[in-house]
Amino acid sequence: MECQHFLSCGSCNFYEKSYEEQVEFKKERLSSIVSQEVSCFVSPKTNYRSRAEFRVWHDGDKCSYAMGNAEKNGVVLIEECPKVLVSIEERMWEMLRVINKSNILKHKLFSVEFLASTLDEVLVTLIYHKKLDEDWVKVARELEAKLDISLIGRSKGQKLILSKESVTQNLDIDGVNFWYLYYDGGFTQPNPFVNTQMVSWACAKAATIGGGDLLESYCGLGNFTLPLSRYFSKVLATEVSKRSIANAKENCLLNKITNISFVRLSSEELSQALKQERAFNRLKDIDLESFNFRCVLVDPPRAGLDSGTLEIISSIEYIIYISCNPETLSRDLEILRQTHEIVDAAMFDQFPYTEHIESGVFLKLR
């Protein structure tokens, strides 16, 4: 990928090497952590990112997109962004032109957020430092129709949804289509091409286990849960976010999957429930003792796993650990290797042109 803002924009900071050299660098770093060769799943070199957020910079009567600069002490005005999906790229510049022609749209506009799918659906959120009124709604509807997008207006204490607040995404996992609704403000994997490979990798590991039940912590909107459910009798999937759990249940219904129980529990609460230290009303309709957990999938935040979760999963036969932070992965593997051996590991390049490493490790009880 070539971009005129390399060196100045802080969004991409690993561009001195070719893309192939970047992948090799990340692969070697992960290999040093797991002490074995790892598989690599790469990204398209351009138009791979389905989420993008830009500040709006006002210079007199003109608005521009802006990002934090490389020195982290200011902004750089953006004239291109070749990493965003084509569906975003095709609309964002026309949107800026329309905004600049409308005093109503550009007045006190603070930032613009894009969320897109590979099905050419684009959701745009315009964020303001002013109260939005009927005049804004009228011109915003015209913009929505002109660009064939779904548009949301937000300001303090106000959220105006003009048509809908989600986009539909399809993942083809080994020839089976799974459908997801991605909502404004919810967490989604930013690179749909690598995400498909990541979920497929996890499914390939699950297929070797031979049944039983699955426990999943940090399930989000069901990104892994729905495809993995094919390989297990029952699934218990937990997540701390109430909104994510509601989204996951909706996605479950959308795919007509019936063997998953989604429950809002933090990782600490899940540990307390499984060790029978505390009863939760949220689990009143779920018989925990009926589960035969042969596999657990964890996809924690950058902080990694807490001690309670590590204790719980150390007794489960198979572990699929999805990590977004090599440092905490290395720390957690020191503990898990006391009970498990690493069977396979993979690097997923979700974030090209950055040093960020997304990885998966498959472990089996010794």
Catalytic residue among 121, 216, 239, 358: 358
Hey, what are 227's tokens?
A: 């495809």
Residue 136, phi-psi category: left (phi > 0), alpha (psi -120 to 50), beta (remainder): alpha
Q: What is d(CA 247, CA 260) in angstroms, rounded to the nearest whole number? A: 13
Catalytic residue among 37, 295, 324, 334: 324
Q: 348 and 198 in contact (C-beta within 8 Å)?
A: yes
> Is beta strand 39-41 parallel, antiparallel or unpaired with respect to 75-78?
unpaired
* Cross-strand partners of 67: 76
Phi, psi of 186 (to 5 degrees): -85, 160
CA 289 to chain centre: 31
Q: Which residues contact 77 (CB under 8 A, 6 or more apart)?
A: 57, 64, 65, 66
Q: Which of 337, 320, 314 is nearest to 34 (CA)?
A: 337
Q: What is d(CA 76, CA 303) in angstroms, rounded to the nearest whole number? A: 30
- Confirm whether 121 is a catalytic residue: no
Hey, what are 166's tokens?
A: 């989600």
Helix (H, G, I), strand (E, B) or coil at 157: coil
Phi, psi of 156 (to 5 degrees): -60, 120
Q: What is d(CA 68, CA 8) in angstroms, rounded to the nearest whole number? A: 9
Q: 64 and 77 in contact (C-beta within 8 Å)?
A: yes
Hey, what are 22's tokens?
A: 């970047």
Q: Which residues contact 104 (CB under 8 A, 6 or more apart)?
A: 135, 136, 139
- Confirm whether 295 is a catalytic residue: no
What are the residue numbers of the active site?
Answer: 324, 358
